[in-house]
A = this chain, B = another copy of it.
Amino acid sequence: MLEKIDLSRSMDREEYKKTAPELRERLGALQRRARAARVPVIIIFEGWEASGKGTLMNELILPLDPRGFRVHYVHSSRDDNQNACWPPMRRFWDMTPPRGLIGIFSHSWYRLALDGISSPEERRTAYGDIESFERALALDGAVIIKFFLHISRKEQKRRLEKMDSDSSSKWRVSEREWSENKNYDKTAVKIDEMIQYTDRDYAPWTLIEATDRRHAAVKILASVTRRIEKRLDELSHSTQAPEAYAGSAVSEGPGGITFAPSVLKNLDLSRSIPREEYEKRLPKLQEAFRELQYELYKVRRPMVIVFEGQDASGKGGCIKRLTQKLDPRGYQVSPTSAPNDWERAHHYLWRFWNSFPKAGHIGIYDRSWYGRVLVERVEGFAGGDELRRAYGEINDMENEWSNYGTIIVKFWLQADGEEQLRRFNERRQNPDKMWKITDEDWRNREKRDLYEEAADEMMLRTSTTYAPWTIVEANDKLHARIKVLEVSAETVRQALGIR
């Protein structure tokens, strides 16, 4: 593909002076409109060494209000210890711009594929991860603009030699730059592959002939202007705009999908354990799990444990017993409540990438990203396409975590309506527990059936081989706690091959 590009394209000073200022003015105005419309914009600069990324980024930035954009310089992931502690996409999630702002990337997540020593398998995994990432952001309303700055091998050599001969720029030319020039043809094949794999309608690549600075600058300004304009137009012609991109991936209505009879309706909720047995088994299980925590730490594999379930189903009690003997330095409980305004300004998965446990640590979630398909569905905050999309996005995320070596356990705690009522009343009457019960809990209780329906569909769609759901019969708290500890420990043992 790259060899087909006409690199001789150029623009004379006259034409540049006619074209550029007008584009800049339009871009300045568009930035303000995008901000008002809360549209996030992501602009990536990839390209050969010495293709002029810095200069061309400056041309783009010139008309922008500095309060509305942020430049990220992405180092090679291999340069940085920190990155080794988390799944590769985590740091990029962290960099996504909030709604209405512009994120400009000098190099980007494509580093994962373009880094010199990546194997074909690593590249394919990276392309898969990148695809889910860009798709999730695009469907959430982001405009994604990707530039590849192209120069010929000869031109690159000429530029490197020139930099090398000037004492003020000499230090910027290292072995790495020269080695790219030496392996130009091999790298070109990888770039072709990258563009083929990741050129999508929602995140297309634009090749920039970067021999001539003026031509390149104008092409970049024009592309950015056109793409933002297009999105703003779409928004003004549609009431439910980001959805427009969702296409018809799934055609059924939310919650209107019929499937196998509810698994939650057919549970044996009478399962229980006598207290005497519980008190004998609990400490042993806790100690065993503590030992397994150290095993995880030694092999540096992270673990994610999710707790979902209706109010008063006993999530808090299970978490308490699960963590009671753990080393507090190696786990973290993350309660999930309604997002704050900064979180709301990002994709709904953003905050969970942020709280992902470090390698060797355990992240315990008291409610989680599944709120998207539970409370947000029942309350109508997320609907239609958003909801249908969420299942796939969540599976993709958990798949990435799993590929990184993460052990994932997900519990749905199920107590029936009678038992819930009994616990609500108990909380109301016990002064030490009163704080646990609010009006909202009573309101949620009226929607029990809707929550169950949502939970059923959630488990159907997100029980995967790498991250299966475990339903915990929770009418008897003692049974629930023991089961949670047993399943957690057993999953770790299986994953680490411990017997």
Chain B residues within 8 Å of A58, by CB:
324-328
* Docked CA distance A323–B25 (Å): 19
Interface code A19-59, partner B: CB below 8 Å = 1, 0 otherwise? 00000010011001000000000000000000000100110
Does A66 contact B327, Cβ atoms closer than 8 Å?
no
CB of A70 closer than 8 Å to a CB of B: yes
Are A62 and B324 CB-contacts (below 8 A) given A329-B71, A332-B71, A435-B32? Answer: yes
Chain B minimum-CB-distance residue to A71: B328
The stretch from A118-126, A130-138, A264-272, A335-343 touching chain B is A335-343
How many Å from the CB of A321 to the closest CB on chain B? 11
Chain B residues within 8 Å of A65, by CB:
316
Chain B residues within 8 Å of A104, by CB:
328
Does B66 contact A320, Cβ atoms closer than 8 Å?
yes
CB of A487 closer than 8 Å to a CB of B: no
How many Å from the CB of A319 to the closest CB on chain B? 6
Q: Which of B32, B67, B335 contacts A333 (CB 8 A)?
A: B67
Are A328 and B106 CB-contacts (below 8 A) given A333-B66, A333-B67, A342-B341? Answer: yes
Q: Which of B54, B81, B168, B366 contacts A328 (CB 8 A)?
A: B54
Are A70 and B435 CB-contacts (below 8 A) given A58-B325, A81-B81? Answer: no
CB of A298 closer than 8 Å to a CB of B: yes
* Docked CA distance A364–B327 (Å): 42
Chain B residues within 8 Å of A320, by CB:
62, 66
CB of A73 closer than 8 Å to a CB of B: yes
How many Å from the CB of A337 to the closest CB on chain B? 8
Copies per complex of this chain: 2
CB of A382 closer than 8 Å to a CB of B: no
* Docked CA distance A71–B333 (Å): 9
* Docked CA distance A298–B167 (Å): 13
Are A73 and B329 CB-contacts (below 8 A) given A66-B366, A171-B298, A291-B168? Answer: yes
* Docked CA distance A81–B84 (Å): 12
Chain B minimum-CB-distance residue to A320: B66
Chain B residues within 8 Å of A327, by CB:
54, 58
CB of A61 closer than 8 Å to a CB of B: yes
Are A323 and B81 CB-contacts (below 8 A) given A328-B58, A435-B32? Answer: no
Are A328 and B61 CB-contacts (below 8 A) given A168-B294, A319-B66? Answer: yes
Chain B minimum-CB-distance residue to A336: B67
Chain B residues within 8 Å of A81, by CB:
80-82
CB of A432 closer than 8 Å to a CB of B: yes
Q: Which of A334-372 contact B (CB under 8 A)?
A: 335, 337, 340-342, 364, 366
* Docked CA distance A478–B285 (Å): 74
Chain B residues within 8 Å of A71, by CB:
328-329, 332
Does A329 contact B106, Cβ atoms closer than 8 Å?
yes
How many Å from the CB of A498 to the closest CB on chain B? 12
Chain B residues within 8 Å of A25, by CB:
432
Does B54 contact A329, Cβ atoms closer than 8 Å?
yes
Chain B minimum-CB-distance residue to A74: B329
Chain B minimum-CB-distance residue to A33: B435
* Docked CA distance A73–B435 (Å): 30
Chain B minimum-CB-distance residue to A367: B67
How many Å from the CB of A11 to the closest CB on chain B? 21
* Docked CA distance A321–B330 (Å): 49
Chain B minimum-CB-distance residue to A107: B329
Chain B residues within 8 Å of A298, by CB:
171
Does B328 contact A57, Cβ atoms closer than 8 Å?
yes
Chain B residues within 8 Å of A328, by CB:
54, 57-58, 61, 71, 104, 106
Q: Which of B67, B172, B340, B366 contacts A342 (CB 8 A)?
A: B340
Chain B residues within 8 Å of A324, by CB:
58, 62
Q: Which of B32, B66, B80 contacts A323 (CB 8 A)?
A: B66
How many Å from the CB of A98 to the closest CB on chain B? 10
Q: Which of B29, B54, B82, B323 contacts A82 (CB 8 A)?
A: B82
Q: Which residues of A contact B (CB under 8 A)?
A: 25, 28-29, 32, 54, 57-58, 61-62, 65-67, 70-71, 73, 80-82, 104, 106, 168, 171-172, 291, 294, 298, 316, 319-320, 323-330, 332-333, 335, 337, 340-342, 364, 366, 432, 435
Provide a sorted-by-A list of 9 A–B residue pairs whose CB atoms are within 8 angstroms: A32-B435, A58-B327, A62-B320, A62-B324, A66-B320, A66-B366, A67-B333, A172-B294, A341-B342
A66-B333, A70-B332, A340-B342 given. 17 additional CB < 8 A pairs? Answer: A25-B432, A54-B327, A54-B329, A57-B328, A57-B329, A58-B324, A62-B324, A66-B320, A66-B335, A66-B364, A67-B366, A104-B328, A106-B328, A106-B329, A171-B294, A341-B342, A342-B342
